[in-house]
Amino acid sequence: MIDLDPATDVEATQHMRIAGRHDQVTIPSLNTGGWFDSCIQGTLDAYTTMRDLGQESRLIGTVGSGKDQYRRC
């Protein structure tokens, strides 16, 4: 696991983000989220955008408990 400095983690992980680049995704996507998931809005946005573009996308719920529920988005 890489421990990133909050000041640089956006730059270091930008290449992994699909926000704004959904049309470049060429494989089916699996989106997961849960009741206490602090990043649920991004998960829902990714799912609905891919669906609206006609891309195969699945949404799985009821996860996100434990220490991961507080991860940064």
Coil, helix or strand at residue 68 = helix
Residue 17 half-sphere exposure toward CB, CA atoms < 13 A: 11
Greatest mean pLDDT among 1-5, 43-47, 56-60, 66-70: 43-47
pLDDT band at 59 (very low <50, low <70, confident <90, very high): confident
pLDDT tens string 19-58: 888 899 888 888 888 777 788 888 889 889 999 999 888 8
Task: Determine the Cα–Cα distance for residues 24 and 20; give it in Å rounded to an integer.
Answer: 9
Greater confidence, 6 or 68?
6
